Amino acid sequence: MKLHEYQAKRVFAEAGIPTPDAELAETVDAAVDAAEAIGYPVAIKAQVQVGGRGKAGGIKLVDDADEAREAADEILGMDLKGYHVDRVLVEEAVDFTNELYVGVTMDRGEGKPVAMVSTRGGVNIEEVAAEDPDAIAREHVDPAFGMHPYQARKAVYDAGVDRTVANDVASVLTTLYDLWAAKDGADAEINPLMITADDEVVAADAVMNIDGDALFRQPDLAEMQEEAAEDDLEAKANDYGFDYVRLDGNVGIIGNGAGLVMTTLDLVDHYGGQPANFLDIGGGAKAERVTNALDMVFSDENVDAVVFNIFGGITRGDEVAQGINEALEAFDEIPKRVVVRLAGTNAEEGMEILNTDLVTVEKTLEDAVQRAVEYAEEDSQ
């Protein structure tokens, strides 16, 4: 479960991490009233769970009531990378001199949590990791003992954080780790953690994702689940019982099994495409479940083509093929081109059942992904 920025900041603030004064608003008038109460300048920030809000026009800094009204009117109701904006966070502007990054996640390669610090905050940290891995200091933590104070100080020192704020940054990192562990976190990060002219640290943004399977022991966070539901697609995924993550690309991906879906995502990226989603229909999927999966991907306006990757084990290829046919035959016109790759149990029977007037069939995963990427490129032009 992904928390919105305002929800994550609420959790962080309750734990003692400094955050700017802020109010949530759902109307233009409420946003202006909040700005007046906080005091200018303020930032008006779209509350959608997508990166690059600022570049897409979803964050605006304003200096008076007229600018606040104009900004709120522009942001509320806008479509931001396929997400409808129905709430904004009106937040005290931070006069900063530097931006840092701090985060905690699970390093599956090491089998341990990892705490991270970087002086290159305020930008896409994944790009930093790819371009300059040494710019991110990492400290692995034994979950049996938690993060020791010396580990937080070491991560801050290794990152090259200025000594005048090093202790405060180490304190924030320790608190962030404690929250991540106590709240059954998947990811927790502050980007940027701003340093003010008075050498204070402030969490100017907040990300916290929770392990959905652990919500039964996080009742306070479980109450936020409906409020945190990002859009109709995520709500629909919950109703259908799918493991679904929406991404920023235009190649829709459906598969059975998390490993198979991840392999497909990697291949889409390898062949120059951009994945639009992670959608695992699970083992033993019946025709109705496959129909629901296609309905979900077709509902995403960002998707230009779909690749369907099924390896038959528990899931039989003929059932999957029947589901694909039923889903596509329900449309007067197929909204996206679909490429199918079947292998494993009853794959040959499934290939015979598939209506090739409605789908493109490829024998190998590589060929299927390349064809889907080609289709997406053609249809996006």
Binding residues: 45, 52-54, 91, 94, 99, 191, 205, 256, 313-315
Pairing relationship of beta strands 88-92 and 136-140 according to DSSP bridges: unpaired
Q: Which two tokens stand for residue 132?
A: 């300059």
Binding-site residue ranges for ATP: 45, 52-54, 91, 94, 99
- Is there a contact between 211 and 185 (Cβ–Cβ < 8 Å)? yes
- Beta-bridge partner residues of 341: 309
Catalytic, out of 83, 101, 244, 375: 101
Q: Would you say 80 and 46 are in contact if contact means Cβ atoms under 8 Å apart? A: yes
- Cα atoms in the Cβ-side hemisphere of radius 13 Å centred on 132: 11
The C-alpha atoms of residue 274 and residue 247 are separated, in whole angstroms, by 9
Dihedrals phi, psi of 49, to nearest 5 degrees: -90, 75
Quote the CA–CA distance of 43 and 89 in Å, as a whole number.
Answer: 8
Residue pair 267/366 in contact (Cβ under 8 Å)? The answer is yes
Is residue 101 part of the annotated active site? The answer reads yes
CA–centroid distance for 117 within its chain: 20
Q: Is 240 an annotated catalytic residue?
A: no
Binding-site sequence positions for Mg(2+): 191, 205
Q: Which of 139, 189, 234, 362 is catalytic?
A: 189
Identify residue 5 by its one-letter amino acid code. Answer: E
Residue 93 is classified by DSSP as -
DSSP H helical ranges for the chain: 5-15, 28-38, 65-75, 125-131, 149-159, 163-182, 219-222, 225-228, 232-240, 258-270, 287-298, 317-329, 347-353, 365-380
List beta partners, residue 89. Answer: 24, 45
**What separation in angstroms does the CA of 24 have from each of 43, 91, 225, 369?**
12, 9, 17, 42
Q: Which residues are catalytic?
A: 101, 189
